[in-house]
Structure formats: structure tokens, C-alpha cells
Amino acid sequence: MAISATSESSQFSQDSQIWDNLKQAIASSSGFQRWQLEHSVGESLQDHSLDSRVRRYLRETLETLAY
């Protein structure tokens, strides 16, 4: 059964809204705030978008947990 373009667009919109809400929740967490402080010493993280900072935080956190 084919998925209509309207259905795909609606799903993308919902996914985007979920990511935006999740990104805001992560950015306000104490772990993210601490991570930003630790990484701001040698780097200019403020030059990066919130999206890229949250993605990097999640990637580094998952890499640490994978050890």
C-alpha cells in the first residue's frame, strides 16, 4: 500500500516537532549544561547551532556508554 505525499509530509512535520521538543529538553538538562561548560574551555561551541551541539552531546554520551 502506497503512502501518500500528504501523509509523508504530516509524518515529517510530527517528527520535526518531536525532535525540536526533545532538543529543547536535552538543552535544558543539567548534563548538557555541564557538557557545554566542559567543552567551551578549548572550543567555541557557540559557533555551532543548538541542533549540532545536541547531536554532538548525544553522540559523545552514547560513545561513552558503549565503552
pLDDT digits (tens, 9 = 90+) for 23-44: 999 999 999 999 999 887 666 6
**26, 34 contact by CB (below 8 A):** no
Distance CA 22, CA 14 (A): 12
pTM of the model: 0.73
Burial of 49 from C-beta contacts in 10 A (0-12 / 13-18 / 19+): exposed
Residue 10 or 21, more confident: 21
